[in-house]
Structure 1
Amino acid sequence: MNTLFQNPLHERLGTWPLAYIPFGGADYGEVAAIAREIGDGDDGRFYDVWLRAADRVARDAAETLENGQRATAAALWQKASVFYATAYHPIYGAPLDPRLVAAQAKETAAFDKAMSLRDVPGEKLEIPLGDTILPGWLIRSTSHPNEVRPLLILNNGYDSTLSDIYYMAAASALARGYHCLIFDGPGQGSALVRNRVPMRADWEVVINAVIDVAVEQPGIDTARIALYGMSLGGYLAPRAASAEPRLAACIADPGLWSIVGGFRAQAVRLGIDPDALQQLSKVDDAILDKLQQYIESDRTMYWTIVQRGYWVHGVTNLRDYLRSAEAFTMEGRAASITCPMLLTHAEDDSLARGAASFYEALHGPKTLLRFSTEEGAGDHCEMGNRTLANRRILDWLDEVLA
C-alpha cells in the first residue's frame, strides 16, 4: 500500500484531510507536498510544516477578502482551520504543549472567520453544561436557510475537531437541506484544550444540554432532530439516544459498543488469559505491566492510549485510564433506544468489529450499513470515500425523517 508519510503515526494523522478533498477541505497536492517536506522528521517537524501551510492558506484568505471575494475567503479560512488542527495532533497530551494551545487558537479563529463569511453566516452558540459552557455553531441549510427544517446534530469523537465534523458530514447535509449543529463536548476540541473539561461516559447529559439550546433556535423542526456520531461518537451518539426521547433518529459511524472491547482483544493476542480481562482496571500488576510495555513499544499505540487517552479522560496512569474507559459501554443501555438507529460497519475498521452484535442488541427500528474495501470505503469512518458514506447515510436519514 502506498503511503505519503514516512512515520506511521504521521501517516495516520496527516492523511485525514484527504477525506475532505471533495468538499474543499484540502487538495491532494498540498498534503503530498507537506509529507515530502516533513520526510523522516519528528513530531516537531510535522507540527512546523503543517503550521506553515496553514498560515499560508490563512494569508491567502485575508488577501482574498481584501479583494472582496467573501465566499473564496470563507473556503480558504475553513481549509486553514483543518491544517491548524492537523498540525497539533501528534503533540497531544498533558501537560499541554504551548504549541498545541497556539495552533488550536488559530484553528478556532480561522473557523470562526469562515462561519462569519458564509452566504448565510453560521450562528455561534453557547451551550451550558454544569459549570462550563460548550462552544457550538448552528449552520443553516444552504438551499433553505429561512425555512423550518430538520436538524442534524453532529458529534465528534476522541480527537476530531469542528473542522473535521464540518467536512466529514455537515457540508453534505447542508446541501441536502438540513440545518446542522456542531459542537465541542467534554474531552473534545476547545472544551478540552481551553476549558480543561475531560471526557464523560454519560453522553445523554451532554446531548440533553445541546438539544435544550437547539429547540430554542428559530427554524428548527423539533420533531425531526437527528444525532450523528463519528469515531468515538459511534458510542457517544447511541449512548445519548438511550436516554434522550427528543431524537427522531440516531447514526453511529461506526457502531461502537465500548471503548475497551478492542483493547481487551489486543490483550488476548498478547497471550493474556481472557478470564483475567473481564475487568481490565482490576487486573494484577503483572498483567498491567505487560500491557504497559506493549503500549510503550508501539509509537502509534502510545499516542492513542497515553498521549490522547490519558489526556482526554483526565487521568495519569494506565489503571485509571482503563477504569474510566470501562464506563464507556452500551451494556444494559442498547435496549432503551427507541428511535431508528443506523450503525455503520466499514470492512477494515477495527472499531467496527462489534457493530453486528451491537445491531442484534437493538430492539427498535434499526439498519446495519456495510462499507467495503472494494468501494474505497473500508477504513475507519469510511475516510477513503466520504462521498459514498454521506450519500448512503443521508439517503437513510431522508427516508426515516420523511
Structure 2
Amino acid sequence: MATIFESAFHDGFGTWPLAYIPYGGADFGDVAAVAEKVGHGDDSAFYDAWVQAAQRQQAEADATLARAKTASARELYLRASCSYAASYHPIYGAPVDPRLLDAFRKQMALFATAMRLGDPAVEPLRIPFDRLSLPAYLIPAEGGAQERRPLLILTNGYDATLTDLYFASAVAASRRGYHALIFDGPGQGELLYEHGVPLRPDWETVIAAVVDFALTLDVVDPARIALSGGSLGGYLAPRAASGEHRLAACIADPGQWSVATGFRQAALRLGGTPDEVRDLGRIGDALLDRMRQMIEGDRKLRWMVVQRGFWANGVDNLRDYLASVETYTLEGRAELIRCPTLLTCAERDPLAAGVAAMLDALRCPKQMIRFTAAEGAGDHCEMMNRSLLNRRVLDWLDDVLHND
C-alpha cells in the first residue's frame, strides 16, 4: 500500500485518522496536509505539524461556536481532538514527554466539548475500579438515547485512547442502535499517561468493574451486553470473557491467544531452542543480547518494545518485559469462555497469525471473519476500511443479540 508520509514509521501513525473519516475524525486532506508539512522531518516535526493542525481546527471551532453554528463547531472540535491524538505516538515512553501530556490533555478537553455539544449532550463518566476510577463515556444509540438498548463495551489495546474507540467503532455502533461504552483501563490513556498505572493481563477483573457500572444504567439491557476489543484488545476481550460471564457476546479483532507468541518465534529465529524459549523470562543472556540487538536495530520494533512496551507494562528492561508478556495468555482459560465469540482475521496482520488455531480451541459458539487486502481491509485492525469491519461485526452482533 502506498504511503502518504515520507517516513514509513510516521506513516504508520499518521494515517490512523484515515480510518476515522466515515465517523467524523478527519478527512483525507487533513492527513495529506500534515504529511506534506512533516516532509523529511523528525518526530518533533511530526508532533508540531499535527499540533498546528489541531490548533487551526480548534480556532475555527471556537469562531464557529461563537456564531451559534453548533453542529459545525462540534465537527471541528472532534477533528481537533483527533489531530492532537495523532501527534504524540512517536514520542511515547517513560519518562513521559511533557509534549505528550499537553497534547493528550487538549485532546480530551476538546473531545469533552464536542460530546457536550451533541444532541443529546454526553457527559464524561468515571467507572470505580480498585482505588482508582476509569474515564469513560456512554455514547447513546441514535434515536434511542433514553431507551433500553443492547450495550457494546469497547476496549482498547496498547497505545490507543478512548477517543480512538469513539471514532473506530462507537459511532458505527450508535448508528446501528447500540449504546456504546468506551473507557480507558490500566495501561491505557489517562491511567498510563497521567498516573503511570501499567497494563494487567487479568482483564476479566477490569471488565467486571465495567459491567458492574453498566448495570447501574437504566438504558442498558442487562441481558444484551457485548464486549469488543481491538489490537491487544483482541487478547484482552476474550481473556475478560473467560471470567466475566455476564457478557452475551465477545469480539476479538484480531483474536490473540498469547502476546508472547511473536517474541517466542523471533527468539527461535535467533537461534534459541524450543526448551530455551519456553519461558521468555528465563532465556540465556546470549540470546537475550541477540534479541536486544534485533530490537534496537529496527526503529518500529524499538518503538513497540522499548518505548511502548516497557512503559505500558511497567518495566524498564527487556528481560522483565519478556517475563511480563508471558502472563498475557489464554492458556487454561479459553475453554472458560461461554458466550458467542467472533474472531477477525486480516490477511496482512501479523497479530492474526494464530486466529485459526484459537478458533479451534474455543468451546463456545464461535465464528471467524476474514478480511483481505483486495477489500482494502487486510492490514492491522482493518484500519483502512473500518466501515467494512464495523458492518460485518455489527451484522454478526445483531444476529447474536437479536437486535432487530
Query: Do both proteins adopt the same fold according to a TM-score greater than 0.5, normalized to the shorter chain?
Result: yes
User: TM-score w.r.t. structure 2 length?
Assistant: 0.98
Aligned match of 1:95: 95
Deviation, 1:288, is: 0.4
CA contact (8 A) 1:88 1:103 kept: yes
Unmatched segments (≥5 aa) in structure 1:
none
Aligned match of 1:362: 362
Aligned match of 2:196: 196
How many Å separate the matches in 2 of 1:165 and 1:270? 37
Aligned match of 1:303: 303
Deviation, 1:8, is: 2.0
Deviations 1:236-272 (CA, angstroms, capped at 9, x unpaired): 0000000111100000000011111112222323343
Aligned match of 1:170: 170
CA contact (8 A) 1:227 1:251 kept: yes
Deviation, 1:297, is: 0.2
CA contact (8 A) 1:256 1:352 kept: yes
Aligned match of 1:396: 396
User: TM-score w.r.t. structure 1 length?
Assistant: 0.98
Deviation, 1:323, is: 1.0
1:197-276 correspondence to structure 2 within 5 Å: 197-276=197-276
Aligned match of 1:67: 67
Letter in 1 for 2:120: V
How many Å separate the matches in 2 of 1:276 and 1:253? 31
Are 2:83 and 1:83 equivalent residues in the alignment?
A: yes
Letter in 2 for 1:328: Y
How many Å separate the matches in 2 of 1:122 and 1:195? 25
Greater CA deviation, 127-136 or 244-253? 127-136
Runs of 4 or more consecutive aligned structure 1 residues displaced over 2 Å after TM superposition: 266-275
How many Å separate the matches in 1 of 2:390 and 2:244? 24
Aligned match of 1:129: 129
Deviation, 1:273, is: 2.9
CA contact (8 A) 1:26 1:79 kept: yes
How many Å separate the matches in 2 of 1:35 and 1:284? 43
- The Cα RMSD (Å) is 1.0
What secondary structure, in the 3-state scheme, does the structure 1 residue paired with 2:182 have? strand
CA contact (8 A) 1:148 1:221 kept: yes
Q: Percent identity?
A: 56
How many Å separate the matches in 2 of 1:113 and 1:356? 43
How many Å separate the matches in 2 of 1:240 and 1:59? 41
How many Å separate the matches in 2 of 1:307 and 1:81? 23
Unmatched segments (≥5 aa) in structure 2:
none
1:143-154 correspondence to structure 2 within 5 Å: 143-154=143-154
Aligned match of 1:160: 160
Deviations 1:223-247 (CA, angstroms, capped at 9, x unpaired): 1000010000000000000011110
What secondary structure, in the 3-state scheme, does the structure 2 residue paired with 1:394 have? helix
CA contact (8 A) 1:120 1:142 kept: no
Deviation, 1:162, is: 1.4
Deviation, 1:274, is: 3.4
How many Å separate the matches in 2 of 1:170 and 1:102? 25
How many Å separate the matches in 1 of 2:281 and 2:261? 13
Aligned match of 2:335: 335
Aligned match of 2:57: 57
How many Å separate the matches in 2 of 1:159 and 1:267? 24
Deviation, 1:58, is: 1.2
What secondary structure, in the 3-state scheme, does the structure 1 residue paired with 2:57 have? helix
Deviation, 1:354, is: 0.6
CA contact (8 A) 2:9 2:300 kept: yes
How many Å separate the matches in 1 of 2:72 and 2:268? 52
Paired residues, what number? 402
Letter in 2 for 1:58: Q
How many Å separate the matches in 2 of 1:181 and 1:268? 41
